[in-house]
């Protein structure tokens, strides 16, 4: 009997090993390399235009907070001066006073249009970090073939690249095969009311884009160094956005006679408990597909895990959880971002409040997240309420859609040896408002490992700017094929 059991276990083990090795070796193929093109020379005027745009501080501070409208209007005046053919041949209209929608009619209006998106508002430069910048934050300086300045990577270079490509094509007498719309938002860094108004207008006009292309993913060499090739993270979906208020109301008093627990104590303990446990992981199909496409270039052990997710998924997840960026791809993230309480050093405050920001995986809802927060905090004295409007995190764009394939093809052409893969954008973009009525919403720019994004010394290599202009030129010229 024992021999039979041992024999059965041996056969089962050999069968398991055989299946694992079969899947691994079947999976282990070369990652294809497609020919790229030499990028056209970058005219000096293009760099001048980008640097001039950076010098205008189009800052948004927060939803509902006032902005310097003079700077935003000055930006549009500059665009009209820099791109006369665009403003001669394309129509445009304003939304919420400061956002614009441009329309470039194509030869075949019966074809569904494409939408190219960008935003020109920027986040503020923190006063505490201003001295750490090595250049003036709004100087638009060119140093070592790199353009510096707040907003160059997020997202003025994209807007300028779209207009540069369009101006060049108009000078050549070009007309696209299908209609194009350019949606340029003025408040993406807050809530995106401008883009929301544009999307509402297009929906009311029954304009149904076949593709919407916005910021989101980028090209990276840093995140997959073992591949020794650039990887284009073409986001086909994005996480939802929701903030929650956690509030404690507890009698305060004089600091010389503190109670056993204060409002701050209760809230702090709740936040610690909330951060001690993460929401359960979920590996989305598009993340599985991403690993399928990069897997052949990884080590044998990594290929084995990717080729046999039914057996090694938890091992793969354990590796992803070690890095904050990859961890965000497989679960809804929850983190306190603002804590407020107290007004004087000798007064125990009666109210303590925290704002907790969450980025929600597609397939999960704000109610799911609220349920988790309440359960994890587990204290009725901490009142949990929704503090923001929920973002739509709809289904991913199909990888065989015309839009995705066009972006993938354009990426091959502008980046040597690139490996394009589907990706999940963990940040929110204005394109979310177009999701309900568009066939494919893609979030990608062919910039490489952005530096200083929302931080110190934000910058973009001239080579990236040149690549972006040519990328958009390909999108515009090949959209009818």
Give the global pTM.
0.93
- Distance (Å) of CA 305 to CA 23, 29, 294, 296, 331: 10, 15, 13, 12, 19
Residue 216, helix vs strand vs coil: strand
Q: Which two tokens stand for residue 280?
A: 């359960």
Pairwise CA distance, residues 50 & 58, whole Å: 14
Residue 237, helix vs strand vs coil: strand
- Quick one: CATH architecture of 240-274+331-389? 2-Layer Sandwich (3.30)
pLDDT at position 270 is 98
Mark whether 188 is an active-site residue: yes
Domain definitions of the chain by residue range? 1-30+281-330, 44-236+393-478, 240-274+331-389
* Selection from 182, 188, 103, 118 nearest residue 156 by Cα: 118
Non-local (6+) Cβ contacts of 41 within 8 A are none
- Give me the half-sphere count of Cα atoms (radius 13 Å) on the Cβ side of residue 147: 27
Q: Which two tokens stand for residue 239?
A: 């996480």
String of b and e for 147-157 (b: at least 16 CB within 10 Å)?
bbbbbbbbbbb
pLDDT at position 481 is 65
CB-based contact 52:79 (threshold 8 Å): no
Rounding to the nearest 10 degrees, give the CA dihedral for residues 14, 17, 19, 23.
-160
Cα 187-407-31 angle, rounded to 5 deg: 130
Pairwise CA distance, residues 351 & 346, whole Å: 15
Residue 32 backbone dihedrals phi, psi, to 5 degrees: -65, 150
Among 179, 188, 218, 391, the one annotated catalytic: 188
Pairwise CA distance, residues 166 & 360, whole Å: 36
Superfamily of domain 44-236+393-478: Zn peptidases (3.40.630.10)
Q: Is 240-274+331-389 the same fold as 44-236+393-478?
A: no
Write the DSSP symbol of residue 42: P
pLDDT at position 229 is 96
Q: Which two tokens stand for residue 113?
A: 């249009």
Q: What is the pLDDT along the chain (481 residues), one digit of tens a residue?
A: 677 777 766 777 788 788 888 888 887 678 889 999 999 999 999 999 999 999 999 999 977 788 999 999 999 999 999 999 999 999 999 999 999 999 999 999 999 999 999 999 999 998 889 899 999 999 999 999 999 999 999 999 999 999 999 999 999 999 999 999 999 999 999 889 999 999 999 999 999 999 999 999 999 999 999 999 999 999 999 999 999 999 999 999 999 999 999 999 999 999 999 999 999 999 999 999 999 999 999 888 888 989 999 899 999 999 999 999 999 999 999 999 999 999 999 999 999 999 999 999 999 999 999 999 999 999 999 999 999 888 777 789 999 999 999 999 999 999 999 999 999 999 889 999 999 999 999 999 999 988 888 899 999 999 999 999 999 999 999 998 6
Q: Which two tokens stand for residue 364?
A: 């999960």
Pairwise CA distance, residues 447 & 467, whole Å: 8
pLDDT at position 94 is 98
CB-based contact 156:72 (threshold 8 Å): no
Residue 47 backbone dihedrals phi, psi, to 5 degrees: -65, -40
Q: 290's torsion region: left (phi>0), alpha (psi -120 to 50) or beta?
A: alpha
CB-based contact 385:245 (threshold 8 Å): yes
Write the DSSP symbol of residue 231: E
């Amino acid at each position: 009997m024992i021999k039979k059991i041992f024999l059965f276990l041996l056969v089962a083990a050999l069968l398991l090993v055989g299946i694992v090795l079969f899947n691994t070796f079947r999976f282990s193929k070369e990652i294809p390399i497609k020919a790229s093109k030499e990028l056209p020379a970058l005219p000096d005027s293009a760099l001048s235009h980008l640097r001039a745009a950076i010098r205008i501080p189009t800052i948004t501070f927060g939803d509902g907070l006032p902005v310097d409208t003079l700077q935003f209007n000055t930006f549009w005046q500059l665009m009209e001066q820099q791109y006369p053919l665009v403003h001669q041949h394309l129509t445009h209209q304003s939304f919420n006073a400061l956002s614009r929608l441009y329309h470039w009619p194509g030869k075949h209006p019966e074809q569904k249009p494409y939408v190219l998106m960008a935003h020109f508002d920027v986040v503020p430069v923190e006063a505490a970090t201003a001295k750490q910048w090595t250049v003036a934050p709004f100087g638009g300086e060119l140093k070592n073939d790199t353009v510096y300045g707040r907003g160059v990577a997020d997202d003025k270079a994209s807007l300028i690249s779209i207009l540069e490509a369009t101006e060049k094509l108009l000078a050549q007498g070009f007309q696209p095969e299908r209609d194009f719309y350019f949606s340029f938002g003025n408040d993406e860094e807050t809530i995106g009311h401008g883009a929301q108004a544009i999307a509402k207008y297009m929906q009311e006009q029954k304009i149904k884009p076949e593709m919407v292309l916005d910021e989101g993913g980028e090209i990276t060499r840093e995140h997959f160094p073992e591949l020794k090739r650039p990887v284009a993270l073409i986001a086909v979906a994005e996480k939802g956005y929701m903030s929650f208020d956690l509030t404690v109301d507890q009698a305060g008093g004089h600091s010389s006679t503190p109670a056993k627990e204060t409002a701050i104590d209760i809230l702090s303990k709740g936040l610690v408990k909330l951060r001690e446990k993460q929401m359960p992981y979920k590996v989305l199909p598009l993340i599985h597909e991403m690993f399928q496409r990069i897997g052949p270039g990884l080590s044998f052990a990594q290929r084995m895990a990717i080729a046999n997710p039914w057996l090694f998924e938890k091992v793969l997840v354990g590796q992803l959880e070690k890095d904050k960026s990859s961890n965000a791809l497989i679960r809804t993230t929850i983190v306190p971002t603002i804590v407020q309480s107290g007004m004087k050093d000798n007064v125990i405050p009666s109210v303590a409040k925290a704002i907790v920001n969450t980025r929600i995986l597609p397939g999960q809802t704000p109610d799911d997240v609220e349920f988790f927060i309440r359960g994890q905090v587990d204290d009725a004295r901490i009142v949990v309420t929704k503090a923001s409007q929920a973002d739509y995190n709809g289904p991913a764009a199909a990888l065989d859609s015309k839009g995705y394939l066009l972006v993938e093809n354009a990426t091959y052409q502008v980046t040597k040896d690139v490996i394009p893969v589907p990706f999940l954008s963990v940040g929110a973009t204005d394109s979310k408002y177009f999701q309900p009525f568009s066939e494919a919403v893609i979030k990608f720019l062919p910039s490489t490992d952005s530096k200083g994004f929302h931080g110190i010394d934000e910058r973009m290599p001239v080579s990236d700017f040149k690549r972006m202009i040519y990328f958009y030129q390909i999108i515009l010229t090949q959209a009818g094929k």
